[in-house]
């Protein structure tokens, strides 16, 4: 081992599927490992999970720690946390990244508490840099960058004194690294000891519900905010989406007001999207909303408030009453289609 | 009938949800001063779940809030909704606590003051930090099971709890032994409004730091001690616990107990790039739509 320990990515898997988030994390993980001059490793926990190693190598991992146990077939906080804590204590990684998924956000804080190390949630960027405090210089710290305070500030957090430095990263924030098929790496098989683990949960039943709303895959999204005014009036948003073949999104304020279901929510606490076209209707544009859509290739904002923050990131702004503007747009689009 | 001792951990937060143009300063940053302090929304769902357990199975509900003295407002709001006891965890030495240090202080409070607890409830996350870390970290420190993203309690038996929790792909029914800690989502329930009778009673509730000014208001009490005794006898005294009251190691709270440090805070400023304004009239919109179609925007 060199001066630093490795950079690790927890590669979440479930239902016999490797989750996208683990692969996404490898792109940033690769960058950090290269800056630090250390190896990038992925960690797999479960039963029959070794087969995912090739995918992880192809996306940038140098090593894969395979922790297989028949009693770790299903995710359990206490068991997975024990496996991860034991592995960290054995190999001393410098950095450990987790997806900010329901699983990652269940597991990572439990591990951080047990190891008494820092953890930063929902990072949108990670960098390596120096930090000074009270006359002490800390070299090569992990800058954990995330929106906070409802997304109205961007905070850079460091954990200079404890190792590993840990963070969860939101899905969709990091690009998926290109696949280099045939790229190989080293598999390290671990044999976790799970006897006597306390506080176990038993999953009695699982229900898989297909998500009706597919915001992540949408090329065009028409989103409505609190300014749409009512649940009934959201029909306008659906109509515009209809002529564009678009998916319908919403701001948190619209969801909270009961205008539309939560699975449509775009933003820091909803879905992060990067479509080719994003039309924000009646959305003032809190930073928490913008954090979830500002990577869209083209943004159109329709708003009656000329001071609405959304206009600050929009490529086109139409200031006026959406009840008049949207029907005009629908008509024009229909006409052009016929032509 | 089983009786459960329940603890709900709640936080007072700035209302960061509905930041409109009015809350934005001219330089494009947020004017925090205009944001009201509110009961963290998902903590209300956690509170509601605890109150429903009490109604269905019997038991008592304690609420603890860690924060500055102003957090007594959310404690009173919990009393207005029907909790049995409210406690403020407040000490200058807690200032600067990150999620790890916060979970340590909360653990100490629960362990020392309510050691026979069965269930701890937390909101899934707070809207100021959105970290969702304090719940799982408190569970680890208490040495109990955690059930996160809980939408409903399906069944409570003597020493077992069965819940429905949300996952990315749907939901699952999970069982574990008590004691356990639950983090509750906003889809779980509709938090109840204030109960008028409770409101009339507990609006007079007070904490230690309120006593000097209350004493001036009610001069018939000969001193602060007799006022305190009076409030206690009426169930209107909100206890405040500091570092020493919960027997906490000072090196594990506040800045000393927090491995994370803030290196930099940047307020978001809005910068528009290549912005084009379209007038809301038929002609301009027609032209605009044509331009979008010609650009093969979609």
Q: Which of A232, A225, A234 is nearest to A284 (CA)?
A: A225
Chain A residue at shortest CA distance from B259: A118
The reply to whether residue B268 touches residue A269, judged by beta carbons under 8 angstroms, is no
Which sequence spans correspond to the domains of chain A? Answer: 7-190, 220-338
The reply to whether residue B174 touches residue A202, judged by beta carbons under 8 angstroms, is yes
Chain B residues whose CB is inside 8 A of the A307 CB are 21, 24
pLDDT tens digits along B231-245: 999 999 999 999 999
> B104, B267, B285, B287: which to substitute to probe chain A, counting the most A Cβ within 10 Å?
B285
What is the structure's pLDDT at A95? 98
Domain enclosing residue B178, as ranges = 4-263
Does residue B178 belong to the interface with chain A, where contact is any CB pair within 8 Å?
Answer: no
Confidence of residue A112 (pLDDT cuts 50, 70, 90): very high
Q: SS in 3 state form for chain A?
A: CCCCCCEEEECCEECCEECHHHHHHHHHHHHHHHHHCCCEEEEEEECCCHHHHHHHHHCCCCEEEEEECHHHCCCCHHHHHHHHHHHHHHHCCCEEEEECCHHHHHHHHHHHHHHCCCEEEEECEEEEEEEEECCEEEEEEEEEEEEECCCCEEEEEECCCCCCEEEEECCCCCCCCCCCCCCCCEEEEECCCCCCCCCCCEEEEEEECCCCCCCCCCCEEEEECHHHCCCCCHHHHHHHHHHHCCEEEECHHHHHCCCCCHHHEECCCCECCCCCEEEEECCCCCHHHHCCCCCCCEEEEEECCCCCHHHHCCCEEEECCHHHHHHHHHHHHHHHHHC
Confidence of residue A269 (pLDDT cuts 50, 70, 90): confident
- Classify residue B291: in a domain, yes or no: no
Chain B residues whose CB is inside 8 A of the A166 CB are none
Whether A190 has a pLDDT exceeding 90, the answer reads yes
- Classify residue B193: in a domain, yes or no: yes
Q: Between residues 130 and 149 of chain B, which touch chain A (CB distance below 8 Å)?
A: 130-137, 139-141, 143-149
Q: Between residues 186 and 225 of chain B, which touch chain A (CB distance below 8 Å)?
A: 187
Does residue A325 belong to the interface with chain B, where contact is any CB pair within 8 Å?
Answer: yes
Token pair, residue A21, equals: 């988030």
Rounded Cα distance, B263 and A178, in Å: 32
A207 forms beta bridges with B171
Chain A residue at shortest CA distance from B18: A253
The reply to whether residue A157 touches residue B140, judged by beta carbons under 8 angstroms, is no
- Classify residue B209: in a domain, yes or no: yes
Q: Which of B176, B75, B157 is nearest to A106 (CA)?
A: B176
Rounded Cα distance, B5 and B256, in Å: 32
Does residue B251 belong to the interface with chain A, where contact is any CB pair within 8 Å?
Answer: no
Contacts of A60 (CB under 8 A, 6+ apart): A26, A27, A29, A30, A40, A177, A180, A183
The reply to whether residue B128 touches residue A286, judged by beta carbons under 8 angstroms, is no
Q: Within a 13 Å sphere around the CA of B140, how many CA atoms are in the beta-carbon half?
A: 28
The reply to whether residue A202 touches residue B176, judged by beta carbons under 8 angstroms, is yes
Q: Which of B21, B278, B290 sits opposite A309 (nearest CB)?
A: B21
Give the β-pairing of A202-208 and B237-241.
Answer: unpaired
Q: What dotted CATH number matches A220-338? A: 3.40.50.1220
Q: Between residues 127 and 186 of chain A, which touch chain B (CB distance below 8 Å)?
A: 131, 133, 143-144, 148-162
Å between A317 CA and nearest CA of chain B: 5
pLDDT tens digits along B205-218: 999 999 999 999 99
pLDDT tens digits along A197-251: 999 999 999 888 766 788 887 889 999 999 999 999 999 999 999 888 899 999 9
Chain A residues whose CB is inside 8 A of the B176 CB are 199-202
Q: Which of A77, A324, A328 sits opposite B146 (nearest CB)?
A: A77
What is the structure's pLDDT at B272? 45
Token pair, residue B100, equals: 């790890």
Work out how many domains chain B is built from and give that number. Answer: 1
The reply to whether residue A149 touches residue B128, judged by beta carbons under 8 angstroms, is yes
- Classify residue B288: in a domain, yes or no: no
Domain A7-190 has CATH 3.40.50.620: yes
The reply to whether residue A149 touches residue B187, judged by beta carbons under 8 angstroms, is no
Percent of residues, chain B, with pLDDT higher than 70: 90
The reply to whether residue B139 touches residue A154, judged by beta carbons under 8 angstroms, is no
Confidence of residue A176 (pLDDT cuts 50, 70, 90): confident
Does residue A92 belong to the interface with chain B, where contact is any CB pair within 8 Å?
Answer: no
Look over chain B and give the mean of its residue pLDDT values, rounded to a whole number.
91
Q: What is the CATH number of the domain that holds B13?
A: 3.40.50.620
Å between A100 CA and nearest CA of chain B: 10
Chain B residue at shortest CA distance from A166: B260
pLDDT tens digits along B22-50: 665 665 556 666 778 999 999 999 999 99
> B174, B260, B277: which to substitute to probe chain A, counting the most A Cβ within 10 Å?
B260
Whether A304 has a pLDDT exceeding 60, the answer reads yes
Does residue B159 belong to the interface with chain A, where contact is any CB pair within 8 Å?
Answer: no
Q: Do the domains at A7-190 and A220-338 have one common CATH topology?
A: yes
Rounded to the nearest angstrom, the gap between the alpha carbon of residue B239 and the centroid of all alpha carbons in its chain is: 18
The reply to whether residue B18 touches residue A286, judged by beta carbons under 8 angstroms, is yes
Rounded Cα distance, B130 and B128, in Å: 6
Look over chain A and give the mean of its residue pLDDT values, rounded to a whole number.
91
Whether B270 has a pLDDT exceeding 60, the answer reads no
The reply to whether residue B268 touches residue A277, judged by beta carbons under 8 angstroms, is no
Whether B135 has a pLDDT exceeding 90, the answer reads yes
Give the β-pairing of A63-68 and A40-46.
Answer: parallel
Q: Say what the pTM is.
A: 0.82
- Classify residue B290: in a domain, yes or no: no
Q: Which of B136, B169, B260 sits opposite A208 (nearest CB)?
A: B169
Distances (CA, A) of A57 to A26, B185, B298: 9, 36, 35
Percent of residues, chain A, with pLDDT higher than 70: 97
The gap between the terminal CA atoms of chain B, to the nearest Å, is: 62
Chain B residues whose CB is inside 8 A of the A269 CB are 130
Does residue B271 belong to the interface with chain A, where contact is any CB pair within 8 Å?
Answer: yes
Choose between A268 and A254: higher pLDDT: A254
Q: Which of A86, A130, A84, A125 is nearest to A106 (CA)?
A: A84
Does residue A187 belong to the interface with chain B, where contact is any CB pair within 8 Å?
Answer: no
Confidence of residue A1 (pLDDT cuts 50, 70, 90): very low
Chain B residue at shortest CA distance from A123: B131
What is the structure's pLDDT at B20? 55
Rounded Cα distance, B296 and A315, in Å: 15
Residue position matching structure tokens 């330089």: B27
């Amino acid at each position: 081992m060199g001066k630093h320990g490795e950079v690790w990515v927890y590669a979440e898997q479930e239902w016999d599927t490797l989750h996208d988030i683990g692969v996404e994390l490898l792109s940033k993980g690769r960058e950090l490992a290269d800056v630090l001059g250390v190896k990038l490793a992925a960690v797999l926990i479960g039963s029959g999970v070794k087969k995912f190693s090739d995918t992880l190598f192809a996306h940038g991992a140098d090593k894969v720690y395979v922790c297989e146990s028949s009693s770790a077939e299903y995710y359990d906080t206490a068991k997975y946390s024990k496996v991860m804590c034991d592995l960290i204590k054995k190999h001393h990684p410098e950095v450990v990244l987790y997806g900010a998924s329901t699983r990652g956000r269940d597991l990572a804080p439990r591990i951080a508490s047990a190891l008494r190390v820092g953890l930063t949630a929902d990072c949108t960027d990670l960098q390596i840099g120096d930090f000074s405090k009270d006359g002490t210089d800390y070299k090569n710290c992990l800058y954990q960058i995330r929106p906070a305070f409802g997304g109205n500030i961007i905070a850079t957090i460091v954990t200079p004194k404890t190792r590993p430095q840990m963070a969860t990263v939101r899905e969709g924030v990091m690009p998926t690294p290109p696949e280099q098929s045939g790229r190989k790496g080293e598999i390290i098989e671990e044999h976790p000891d799970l006897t006597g683990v306390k506080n176990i949960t038993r999953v009695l039943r699982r229900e898989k519900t297909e998500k009706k709303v597919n915001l992540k895959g949408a090329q065009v999204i028409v989103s409505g905010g609190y300014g749409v005014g009512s649940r009934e009036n959201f029909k306008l948003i659906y109509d515009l989406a209809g002529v564009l073949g678009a998916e319908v999104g919403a701001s948190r304020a619209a969801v909270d007001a009961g205008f539309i279901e939560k699975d449509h929510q775009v933003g820091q606490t909803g879905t992060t999207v990067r479509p080719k076209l994003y039309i924000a209707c009646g959305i003032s544009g809190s930073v928490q909303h913008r954090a979830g859509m500002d990577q869209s290739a083209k943004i159109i904002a329709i708003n009656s408030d000329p001071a609405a923050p959304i206009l600050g990131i929009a490529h086109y702004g139409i200031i006026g009453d959406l009840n008049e503007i949207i029907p005009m747009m629908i008509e024009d689009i229909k006409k052009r289609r016929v032509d | 009938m089983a009786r459960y001792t329940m603890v709900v951990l709640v936080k007072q937060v700035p209302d960061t949800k509905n930041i409109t143009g009015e809350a934005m300063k001219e330089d494009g940053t947020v004017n925090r001063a205009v944001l009201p302090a509110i009961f963290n929304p998902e903590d209300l769902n956690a509170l509601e779940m605890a109150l429903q357990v009490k109604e269905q199975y019997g038991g008592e509900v304690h609420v603890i809030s860690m924060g500055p003295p102003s957090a007594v407002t959310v404690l009173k709001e919990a009393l207005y909704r029907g909790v049995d006891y409210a406690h403020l965890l407040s000490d200058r030495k807690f200032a600067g606590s990150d999620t790890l240090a916060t979970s340590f202080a909360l653990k100490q409070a629960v362990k020392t003051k309510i050691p026979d607890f069965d269930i701890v409830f937390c909101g899934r996350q707070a809207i100021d930090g959105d970290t969702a870390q304090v719940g799982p970290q408190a569970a680890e420190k208490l040495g109990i099971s955690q059930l996160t993203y809980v939408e409903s309690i399906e069944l409570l038996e003597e020493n077992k709890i069965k819940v429905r929790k949300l996952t990315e792909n749907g939901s699952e029914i999970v069982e574990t032994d008590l004691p356990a800690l639950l983090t509750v989502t906003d889809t779980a329930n509709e938090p109840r409004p204030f109960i008028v009778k409770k409101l009339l009673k507990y609006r007079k509730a007070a904490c230690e730091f309120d006593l000097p000014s209350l004493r001036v208001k009610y001069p018939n009490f000969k001193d602060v001690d007799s006022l305190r005794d009076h409030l206690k006898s009426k169930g209107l005294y909100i206890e405040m616990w500091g570092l020493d009251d919960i027997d906490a190691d000072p090196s594990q709270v506040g800045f000393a107990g927090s491995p994370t440090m803030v290196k930099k805070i940047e307020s978001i400023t809005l910068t528009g790039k290549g912005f084009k304004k379209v007038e809301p009239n038929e002609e301009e919109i027609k032209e605009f739509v044509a331009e979008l179609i010609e650009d093969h925007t979609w």
